[in-house]
Chain A
Amino acid sequence: AQSVTQPDIHITVSEGASLELRCNYSYGATPYLFWYVQSPGQGLQLLLKYFSGDTLVQGIKGFEAEFKRSQSSFNLRKPSVHWSDAAEYFCAVGARSGGGADGLTFGKGTHLIIQP
């Protein structure tokens, strides 16, 4: 079965500074990878996704992520954060797991705090 690890539960970044959120996955084949953002009191919104091809993917709100097969990673980056980026970020892997769940397996999330 697939799994996703987000090692950082909380990250604090100053406004205007760069950001990198880490995500490691475990899956036996090429995964489908996603980053979602959850603003306070809101549902989840897709930031970007990777299926195949170029390993550097661009998303909405100025975010990008890089798929590194050798490291089983899909880290999310942004060159300059804004106060409105404060939210919970979830990395997810999509895969068919045979007799198990068919859908997304989520990491436990990283809570991003922006300091003025």
Chain B
Amino acid sequence: EAQVTQNPRYLITVTGKKLTVTCSQNMNHEYMSWYRQDPGLGLRQIYYSMNVEVTDKGDVPEGYKVSRKEKRNFPLILESPSPNQTSLYFCASSLDRDGGARNEQFFGPGTRLTVL
């Protein structure tokens, strides 16, 4: 089944404790992206990647890091989480390198993160 998977689905952590949220897609997509969803704000893009070893900042990149060492994986790293990063996070992928703007994005099920 074609899908985007994220792990963990739920995470409660404390301020300053480094964490990684994994994202993997099995559709051989070149484009991958991370969004955060907050009440009243909709979804905002954190980082995106056009291809392996190519990443760039989205609208709200502060406090986050990403890497794209393999085509299928795009982990989101919070080096020192803070309470304002409590949010619902979505990973998405799309078919080609223009996919960010033009093609359907396939979304993972989301990771609900709480930072105490």
Contacts and interface: CB of A to CB of B under 8 A. Distances in A.
Contacts of B110: 41-43
Nearest to A49: B104
Contact of A44 (B56, B59, B101, B107): B107
Contact of B41 (A43, A46, A105, A108): A108
Contacts of B116: none
A37 to B, nearest CB: 11
Interface string B88-104: 00101000000011101
A41 B88 CA distance: 10
Interface stretch (B14-22, B42-50, B70-78, B79-87): B42-50
Contacts of B45: 101, 103-105
B48 A46 contact: no
Contacts of B42: 90, 106-109
Interface in B18-52: 33, 35, 40-45, 48, 50
Contacts of A44: 43, 90, 92, 105, 107
Contacts of B44: 106
Contact of B109 (A9, A34, A43, A102): A43
25 contacts: A32-B101, A32-B102, A42-B109, A42-B110, A44-B43, A44-B107, A45-B107, A90-B42, A94-B102, A100-B59, A101-B45, A102-B56, A102-B100, A102-B101, A103-B45, A103-B48, A103-B58, A103-B100, A103-B105, A104-B100, A106-B42, A106-B43, A106-B44, A108-B40, A108-B41
Interface of A: 9, 32, 34, 36, 41-46, 49, 51, 90, 94-96, 100-109
